[in-house]
């Protein structure tokens, strides 16, 4: 139960971070290099996950 809550909270925090970066971009603020690296890593993980879940014909 606690482990499930941990994963839910972790994903929620990641989503908040994504939204914050998107809002920063809309406002024209600079994005740190570390934030760009983390964003690229997150995007790669999501793309791999999506490809793995795609049905194979």
1-57 pLDDT, tens digit per residue, is 889 999 999 999 989 998 999 999 999 999 999 999 988 998 898 888 777 776 666
Quote the pLDDT of residue 47. Answer: 87
Say whether pTM exceeds 0.75: no
Instruction: Please report, for the chain, the start and end positions of each structural domain, with discontinuous segments joined by +.
Output: 2-53
Quote the pLDDT of residue 49. Answer: 79
Quote the pLDDT of residue 6. Answer: 94
CA 18 to chain centroid, in Å, comes to 6
Quote the pLDDT of residue 57. Answer: 62
The candidate with the shortest Cα–Cα distance to 15, out of 54, 46, 37, is 46
């Amino acid at each position: 139960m606690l482990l499930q809550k941990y994963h839910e909270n972790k994903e929620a925090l990641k989503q908040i971070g994504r939204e914050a970066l998107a809002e920063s971009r809309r406002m024209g603020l600079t994005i740190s290099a570390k934030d760009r690296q983390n964003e690229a890593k997150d995007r790669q993980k999501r793309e791999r996950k999506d490809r793995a879940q795609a049905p194979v014909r």
